[in-house]
Amino acid sequence: MPLAVDQVIFYFLVLIVSLSVHEAAHAWSADLLGDPTASRLGRVTLNPMAHIDPIGTVLFPLIAITTGAPVIGWAKPVPVGVRYLGPQWRQKFMLIAAAGPISNLVLALLVSALLHLGAARTGTALDLTSSSLLYKALTLNVTLAVFNMIPVPPLDGGNVLAGLVSGKAANVLDRVRPYGFIVLYALLLTGVVSTVLGLFAAPIVSWLD
């Protein structure tokens, strides 16, 4: 169901922060592994203005949040100069890709801690509104992590997979990459993505809640 105005604002801000942390984690890990590309572009920062995409971070999410539709959002991708990563660039690229989803899981853990800390301090569950908003923040970050780890390029999971395979498998993945968005949309339309989220995101949320 559509949310109240204050809830829309909260959820939207959480999404912006979550996407910004996700992209900053990519940029920070790339810089750490020897690629200065993102750093030179000012992407090693938590400042949302460095990461916001007008369509993916603002327009689509706001429409989804206000109408009660599933939230789909993205930020500006962090560019990675693989020439800076050396001969083990596939493995390093895998670590850079994994940093984003990991950062969302860390945020989910922090939100979970807030939920349990609030309950421990009061001796009861948080009030319904606060608990509901924090639960949405928890769910959002777990969903972002799991969705991005689906092993289809250009999602992070596809880049992680690229670092794990070699030879013919790596060549096949490279050939599939230009058509990754088509594959992803097919998975969305056929319900495969929803199934994956149900199998993996839901248990993680339940465990952290």
Known catalytic residues are 23
Measured CA to CA, the distance from residue 157 to residue 51 in angstroms comes to 20
Q: How distant is the alpha carbon of residue 117 from its chain centre?
A: 25
Measured CA to CA, the distance from residue 9 to residue 54 in angstroms comes to 16
Measured CA to CA, the distance from residue 45 to residue 11 in angstroms comes to 21
**Is 65 exposed, middle or buried (CB count within 10 Å of its CB: 0-12, 13-18, 19+)?**
buried
DSSP 38-67: HHHTT-SS--GGGT--IIIIIIHHHHHHHH
Q: Tally Cβ neighbours within 10 Å of residue 151.
A: 15
